[in-house]
A and B are shown apart, each in its own frame.
Chain A
Amino acid sequence: MKFPLSAADARELRAGDQVVIDGEIVMTAGLPTIQRLVRCLDGVEPLPLALHGVSLFHLGSFSRETDGRFEVLYLNPTTSTRFNAHMPRLIRELGWHAVGGKGGLDRQCVEAMREAGCVYLSFLGGGATLHSQAIRRVVEVGWSDMLVHYRLVRLAVEGLGPVTVGIDAHGRSLYAEEQLAARERLPEILRELGAERSK
Chain B
Amino acid sequence: MAITYELVKTVTAQLYDRSLRGIPEDTKAALQRADATESNETARHTLRIMLRSADAARTSSQFICSDAGVPVFFVRVGTQAQFSGNVRQAIADGFDELVATIQPPLLPHVTNPLTLERGYKGRGMPIVTFDLVDGADNVDITCSPKALGSGRWAALEIFSFPDLATIEKFVLETVIRAGSQPCPPVVIGVGIGGSFDYAAKLAKEATLRPVGEAHAEPIVADMERRLLAAVNKTGFGPMGTGGDSTAMAVHVNYAAGHGFTPVAVCFNCWINRRTRARIYNDGRVETVE
Interface of chain B residues 38 through 57 with chain A (CB within 8 A): 42, 45-46, 49-50, 52-54, 56-57
Chain B residues whose CB sits within 8 angstroms of the CB of A197 once the complex forms: 164-165, 168, 222-223, 226
- A129 pairs with B233, CB closer than 8 A: no
The chain A residue with its CB closest to the CB of B227 is: A193
- B236 pairs with A129, CB closer than 8 A: no
User: How many residues of B sit at the interface, in one of the four size bands?
Assistant: 35 or more
Stretch binding the partner chain, chosen from A39-47, A90-98, A174-182: A174-182
- B241 pairs with A164, CB closer than 8 A: yes
Q: Number of residues in A with C-beta < 8 Å to the partner?
A: 51
- Are A126 and B176 CB-contacts (below 8 A) given A174-B242, A193-B168, A197-B226? no
- A132 pairs with B62, CB closer than 8 A: yes
The chain A residue with its CB closest to the CB of B173 is: A186
A16, CB-defined interface residue at 8 Å: yes
B78, CB-defined interface residue at 8 Å: no
Chain A residues whose CB sits within 8 angstroms of the CB of B176 once the complex forms: 179, 182-183, 186
B144 shortest CB reach to chain A, Å: 15
B239 shortest CB reach to chain A, Å: 6
Chain A residues whose CB sits within 8 angstroms of the CB of B133 once the complex forms: none
Most buried by A among B172, B173, B241, B271: B241
Task: Among A81, A125, A130, point to the contact of B239 (Cβ < 8 A).
Answer: A125
Task: Among A79, A129, A186, point to the contact of B56 (Cβ < 8 A).
Answer: A129
17 A-B pairs in the complex with CB atoms less than 8 angstroms apart = A60-B107, A73-B105, A75-B66, A103-B149, A103-B181, A122-B240, A125-B269, A128-B63, A129-B53, A148-B108, A175-B241, A178-B240, A179-B180, A193-B168, A193-B172, A193-B230, A197-B223
B interface residues with partner A (beta carbon < 8 Å): 23, 42, 45-46, 49-50, 52-54, 56-57, 60, 62-67, 104-105, 107-108, 118, 148-149, 152, 164-165, 168-169, 172-173, 176, 179-181, 183, 222-223, 226-227, 229-230, 233-237, 239-242, 269-271
- 16 additional A-B pairs beyond A128-B62, A197-B164, beta carbons within 8 Å, are A73-B104, A79-B181, A81-B181, A102-B239, A122-B239, A122-B241, A124-B46, A127-B65, A128-B53, A129-B57, A132-B62, A182-B235, A185-B235, A194-B165, A196-B229, A197-B165
